[in-house]
Amino acid sequence: MTESESLEYLEELGKTGIVPGLDRIREFLRRLGNPQDQLRFVHFAGTNGKGSTLSYVGSALECAGLQVGYYTSPAVVHPREIIRVGKRKITKDAICRGMERIRECNEAMKAEGSGSVSRFEAETALAFLYFLEAGCDMVMLECGMGGEQDATNVITAPQVSVITSISYDHMKFLGNTLGEIAAQKAGIMRPGIPTVTCAQDPEAMAVLRQRAESLGAPLVVADVSEAKNVKYGLQKQRFSYGFYKNLEISVPGAVQITNAVLAVAVLATLQIPENAIRKGLLQMTWPGRFTVIGKKPLFIVDGAHNEDAALQLAKSLDLYFTNKRILFIMGILKDKEVRRIAEITAPYADQIFTVKTPDNPRAMDALELARVVAEFNPRVTATDSVEEAAELVKLMAAPEDVIVAFGSLSFLGILMKDAEKKKATGKKV
């Protein structure tokens, strides 16, 4: 298979939608030789903060000399970036070889009447095959959705289970209360294996504690309120936590201190040396999470796509940009808490441009989104494309203003790719 054929096959598998459950992926991996059983994992579940926390942990492990694999979703700029070893995306050759095996196995299962795997299941199998081939010492494994019924939960014994902030998202599949959602996330816990989490809503925390106790799994709670000497900034942020004094991170955003504290607790559980923790935290980058892609005006992209993430974005705007004129580009999927996200964020903006995320059947129409936003801020304009919104907002913004594009990561990827091209050619972003 060529790379384009591989990606087309994945697109075809994606038409089946979300299919929770582990029976099919277990059988599929059995036919592929169970590559996951020969790998070591740190397994991440949660509503928000998985990607950042995962990246802090992985970066420190790399600084400790380990070969680290990363399986994350969704892709922001390129489909191959969801599977990485270090900073290197899965190679074109590897995706072609792996997808050849996956297609052959899947077509055989279909012919036998066992059904087809979903896109996420195929990508998960591809990741396991690649990480084994690459000789990874540890894999940072992110749940796609939930935990208990997520395809990644086919692994049997992670080194540590990590549960980041739990809030409302994917309620159709995970439940309508924080307790029900937490029960799904808690499905990644394993008997006797440590679970590290952050401070949670009491209802969610009660579920996690009960599950941990029933499994005899030590539960470590990393509470950001115990962080000392916290200093926020757009270039660097600093904090002390436990025995670790004056740790620094280079990723901006108010919530990043919470994510870094959680990562430190995970790394301490793994007994990683302090010098690797310090270096790893500072070196970590995570595109699409309060990422600066342009200056004068300051241009930030942020994947705030649900209520909790919108609250964190609002906190960051309060923290960094008091008395600044702010302009928004918004693009949100229609199955998210659109009205609540608009209610939280819209009052911050002097002007808002809405976009429809391209090539996504779940995308909300720009005009429909503008109508919702107008309930909270009348200075809103629906645009025909992401590119048009970017041009309009730049025309309107003064050098001292702040542009914030947020919502669906897939539309943010367009802006980030455009910024990368302009920087490569020396043009102003």
Residue 59 has pLDDT above 90, yes or no: yes
CATH of 3-283, one of 3.40.50.2300, 3.40.50.720, 3.40.1190.10, 3.20.20.70: 3.40.1190.10
Q: What are phi and psi of 381, to 5 degrees?
A: -130, 130
Residue 330 has pLDDT above 70, yes or no: yes
The pLDDT confidence band at residue 424, using thresholds 50, 70 and 90, is low
Say if residues 109 and 38 touch (Cβ distance below 8 Å).
Answer: no
Tokens of 272: 């990683």
The pLDDT confidence band at residue 170, using thresholds 50, 70 and 90, is low
| Mode of pairing for the β-strands spanning 160-163 and 68-71 | unpaired
Residues above pLDDT 70, as percent of the chain = 97
Residue 425 has pLDDT above 90, yes or no: no
Q: Bridge partners of 291?
A: 301
pLDDT at 294: 92
Mean pLDDT of the chain: 92
- Domain borders along the chain are 3-283, 291-424
54-72 mean pLDDT: 98
170 secondary structure, DSSP code: -
Give tens-digit pLDDT for 247-292: 999 999 888 999 999 999 999 999 999 999 999 999 998 777 888 9
Residue 54 has pLDDT above 80, yes or no: yes
Task: Write the DSSP string, 94-114.
Answer: HHHHHHHHHHHHHHHHHHTT-
Give tens-digit pLDDT for 282-315: 999 877 788 899 999 999 999 888 888 899 999 9
Residue 381 has pLDDT above 90, yes or no: yes
CA distances from 84 to 98, 105, 144, 246 (A): 14, 23, 16, 30
Residue 16 has pLDDT above 80, yes or no: no
Tokens of 338: 């659109």
Return the beta strands (E) in 202-242 as ranges: 219-222, 228-231, 237-241
Nearest to 209 by CA among 163, 175, 171, 167: 163
**Interatomic CA distance for residues 347 and 278, integer angstroms:** 38
CA distances from 30 to 33, 102, 125, 150 (A): 5, 12, 10, 17
Which range, 11-25, 157-171, 313-327, is most confident?
A: 313-327
pLDDT at 278: 98
228-235 mean pLDDT: 93
Give tens-digit pLDDT for 339-349: 999 999 999 99
The pLDDT confidence band at residue 429, using thresholds 50, 70 and 90, is low
Residue 24 has pLDDT above 80, yes or no: yes
pLDDT at 426: 67
Domain 291-424, classified CATH 3.90.190.20, yes or no: yes
pLDDT at 222: 96
Lowest mean pLDDT among 235-249, 261-275, 343-357, 411-425: 411-425
Residue 177 has pLDDT above 80, yes or no: yes
Give tens-digit pLDDT for 72-100: 988 777 788 999 999 999 999 999 999 99
Radius of gyration of the chain (CA): 21
pTM: 0.89
363-392 mean pLDDT: 96
CA distances from 201 to 178, 179, 182 (A): 8, 9, 10
pLDDT at 15: 82
The pLDDT confidence band at residue 6, using thresholds 50, 70 and 90, is very high
